[in-house]
Structure 1
Amino acid sequence: MTRDPAPSPGLLRTPGMIGVLIMAAAAFGGWSLLLPVVPLLVAHSGGSDALAGSVTGVFMAATVVTQLLVPRLLRTQGYRRVLAVGCLLLGPPSLVLLISADAGPVLAVSAVRGIGFGMLTVAGSALVAELAPKRILGRATGAQGIAIAASQMAGLPLGLAIMERWSATPVFVLGALIPALALVAIAGLPKIFAQPTGESARLSVFVVLVPVLALACVSASFGGLSSLLPIAISERAAVAGVVLATASGSMLIGRYSAGLIADRLGSGRTLAPALASSTIGLVLFAINVDGGSTPVLFCAAVLFGLGFGAVQNESLVMAFQAAGPRQLGSASAIWNIGYDAGTGIGALALGFVATTAGYAWVFAVSAVVVALLPALAAGGKVIGSRVAR
């Protein structure tokens, strides 16, 4: 009689997993502290709205360009080195802003920090897939999402509160120190290099098209929601903040729940329901944004947040499984680019919709785009399997 092999360790007992979660929380916490503060400082220092907006634009542009290069770095330099350099580029350069808030230094610092952020996002996601046994991959990516989102929920309002109460100086110091402290967690991570791809191991875009397209469309809707809802209901500014916080909290639940389901029933099962939930939430926003019911806005936030969180986790797990162990870095890069580019493009495009047609149409257009994807998601595995043959 043969014995069953010993079960793999649980989530938090997986070697390196706690370190990855601590590193993610520290890096993204430091990033979120500065995210709203730097543009605000530029505006307070006499900079134009265009300059204030370009701060985030330069940051994200540097992030996306870097994400394209990280898979190769993971193969040649290893995860620990890439993560360590990413933390050092993301945090300490913010100390330059203590000296000057002029356009040149601010944009240069934003570009450098964007490079660090691009390294962290791709390497951090791929490392979770390297460390986690297949049976808990969904929960592992969900736990990482919770660590990141929780630190953002704390950091975004905290940075603004510190600046309002004292000044931007302690924000920049904390923004430099917190990501640097992640080096302690990185030092304890296993020394892992991404697997060499080999000449025949090329990641077909069609294999990951469905999950990344789903993510990009819903993240574009989130970009419009987070940027435009406070303006759309400016007469209820306090309500807007709580609605966005409700959506963020719901994302945490949606992301981890999707991970549990993926581990128990298989990936791909919650993508279409998650897209449907996001669509219904956007429809409720469209109906109620112009003087509608406040309780319905909260219901919309819950439905959209649950759907968006589930789409995040499900699309990431599907991308990793479709890519295979030799292409985890590439899958992570594509996923992160879809998320970041979708958010930025969505805010820009939906801002144009708001200017030309009104805020209700922002959410109506978003709902239509997201509603077209469940059928595509349902056929995604068929498309991927045919391409892979």
Structure 2
Amino acid sequence: MESRQPAVRRGAAGPDVARRDRRDPEVAVTAAPGLLGIRGLLASWALAAAAFGGFSLLLPVVPWAIAQAGGSDTLAGSVTTVFMATTVLTQLAMPKLMRARGHRQLLIAGCLLLGLPSLGLLASTAPPVVLGISAVRGIGFGMITVAAAALVAELTPARQLGRATGALGIAIAASQMIGLPLGLFLAERFSTAPVFVLGALVPTLGLVAAARLPRVRPAAGATHGRPPLLALLLPTVAIGAGAIAYGGLTSLLQIAAVGLPVPIALATLSASTLVGRFGAGSLADRIGAGRLLPIGLALAAIAMVPFALVADDRAGAPALIGAAACFGLGFGIVQNEALLVAFRRAGPSHIGSASAAWNIGFDAGAGIGAFLLGALATAAGYPAAFAIAAVLVPVLPLLARLAGPSDPKPRPIESNP
């Protein structure tokens, strides 16, 4: 189903604006339209919201169902780990696939692979079945995560990229804010069956948005040489460190904090992530990408301490909700700052590689976090697992910063190459 719309270049406000943006950034500042005036951008946000809505519905429910059936914490965490493993393997191939097949075809395939296999969970929740379905769904999720972020970067003029990625974060966080608690509510109040049906239906609704996406050509002068992998180390590890804690929380918090309002905490986490991500994006358009990254990492790390206290029965619902708000705000900042730093360091020739690196860091971190913190919880308890995560969140990016190349002074995004 090929789009009949003409192909567009990066900065999809139109070819005239895109050419002025490349020659004279100051002209582009006044000529660029608002975000909603950029063709295809709203559709890309809607598709991402549908995909992440289906993803978040099942994210805490499938491990919970395994635990309810008598499975170990390690097995419950393995469900997310398998999902993220196939996600990451798919993401590794996405830069080449996007050049060969285009963003829209991959987004359509991703919606189908993420959604439809969820219906198989209605037949069985035996571990082999659940792990197999999770593997297939992970392939679809890997396609969507990389292609959606790369498409936003291709469509948006450089000066507005911080707000555009922040708005993408709003779409994702809003759908997660609904999906995470809704899935748990339906599973606990009724059964897992309606959750599995919604997990299939919601991502397939993204096909409606996919039909509105334009075809995109790479920016003029773009090359496909080797991407700057070492330069992408810091943003990849930064998002991965935050995702380790996030993956553990979303998969295991319902088990660790029995009797407490975990669905409300997860909704709070998603809402504050929305605020952090869009706020960081708006500031980045003015002060430059990267300045807020240490602050975001610090907030996420600090929040893990009250989570540990809650898991140790030394704090209650107020601490749980407060920790969720603090972690979400910090993690939202980390998400947007790491993505913008990746785009800046990669340059316009390697937008796909930057998106892939960021998403690999996020999803590998979430998968590792679900498995690692689950294993640590089995061995030493949830308080120890969350306390270790509090250390990993700031330390891993610091090590990456020391190992990688020096980063130039943060600058407004429109002045980036």
Cα distance in 1, alignment partners of residues 192 and 408 from structure 2: 52
Q: Deviations over 1:44-72 (max 9, x none)?
A: 7x685576654433322221111111111
The Cα shift of 1:41 comes to 5.5
Q: What letter matches 1:271 in structure 2?
A: L
Cα distance in 2, alignment partners of residues 355 and 176 from structure 1: 32
Which one of the candidate residues 335, 343, 352 is aligned to 1:329? 352
The Cα shift of 1:92 comes to 2.1
Q: Please name the residue that 2:146 is paired with.
A: 122
Which one of the candidate residues 301, 322, 333 is aligned to 2:324? 301
Q: Please name the residue that 1:93 is paired with.
A: 117
Q: Deviations over 1:235-289 (max 9, x none)?
A: xx22444333322221111111110111111101101121222233234444665
Matches within 5 A, 1:60-209: 60-101=84-125, 105-164=129-188, 166-194=190-218, 198=223, 201-209=225-233
Which one of the candidate residues 333, 345, 348 is aligned to 2:371? 348
Q: What letter matches 2:295 in structure 1?
A: P
Q: Please name the residue that 2:395 is paired with.
A: 372
Cα distance in 1, alignment partners of residues 184 and 373 from structure 2: 25
Q: Please name the residue that 1:224 is paired with.
A: 248
Q: Please name the residue that 2:34 is paired with.
A: 10
Matches within 5 A, 1:227-242: 227-234=251-258, 237-242=259-264
Percentage identity across paired residues of the two chains: 54
Residue 51 and residue 267 in structure 1: after superposition, are their counterparts in 2 closer, same or farther (change >3 A)? closer
Cα distance in 1, alignment partners of residues 378 and 70 from structure 2: 24
Matched, 1:280 2:302: yes
Q: Deviations over 1:62-104 (max 9, x none)?
A: 2111111111110010011110111111112333444455555
Task: Give structure 2 stretches of 5+ with no counterpart.
Answer: 1-23, 410-417
Residues matched between the structures, number:
381
Q: Give the RMSD, CA atoms, in angstroms.
A: 3.2
Cα distance in 1, alignment partners of residues 328 and 389 from structure 2: 14
Contact 1:208 1:384 in 2 (8 A): no
The Cα shift of 1:27 comes to 1.4
Task: Give structure 1 stretches of 5+ with no counterpart.
Answer: none
Residue 266 and residue 346 in structure 1: after superposition, are their counterparts in 2 closer, same or farther (change >3 A)? same
Which one of the candidate residues 306, 310, 317 is aligned to 2:333? 310
Contact 2:339 2:355 in 1 (8 A): yes
TM superposition score normalised by structure 2: 0.80
Residue 305 and residue 34 in structure 1: after superposition, are their counterparts in 2 closer, same or farther (change >3 A)? closer
Matched, 1:29 2:53: yes
